[in-house]
Amino acid sequence: MIGLLQRVSEARVTVDRLEIARIAAGLVVLLAVEPSDTDAEADRLLDRLTRYRVFPDPEGRMNLSLADTGGSLLLVPQFTLAADTGKGLRPSFTGAAGPESGRALFEIAVRRARHLLGTERVATGEFGAHMQVSLTNDGPVTFWLRVSALSAPG
């Protein structure tokens, strides 16, 4: 499972010109599910995302996490993060999970996030929809996290 996280001062998602999600300060995470991913990878990624220290402490160092700051989380499904771009001029999407398993694991990740942070702090994009994601990256701060069945805990 892959998460591209961005520290934001605000963000929103629209589908068909209708705003479906909005957050203030926090993280936007573009989330890709890979074919071998299971509930365990979703749990591990969400645990890391909520505890990943990307927010400044009083000295300006990145020592605080989303759990520490009380910020919001916007999860956006994005299968293109799992694309194979190693050769040619067109990406291959064989590295992305199929729609059924992708949707199921995205929903598991959302439930895990809401369990860890509280429902009111978690917003989502719409799986399978053509979305417009608008955000103000704060920093800019962007990290790519990947967990797999072979990842060590921690």
Active site residues: 78-80
DSSP string, the chain: -EEEEEEEEEEEEEETTEEEEEESSEEEEEEE--TT--HHHHHHHHHHHHH---EE-TTS-EEE-HHHHT-EEEEEE-GGGG-B-SSSSS-B-TTSPPHHHHHHHHHHHHHHHHHHH-GGGEEE--TTS-EEEEEEEEEEEEEEEE--TTPPP-
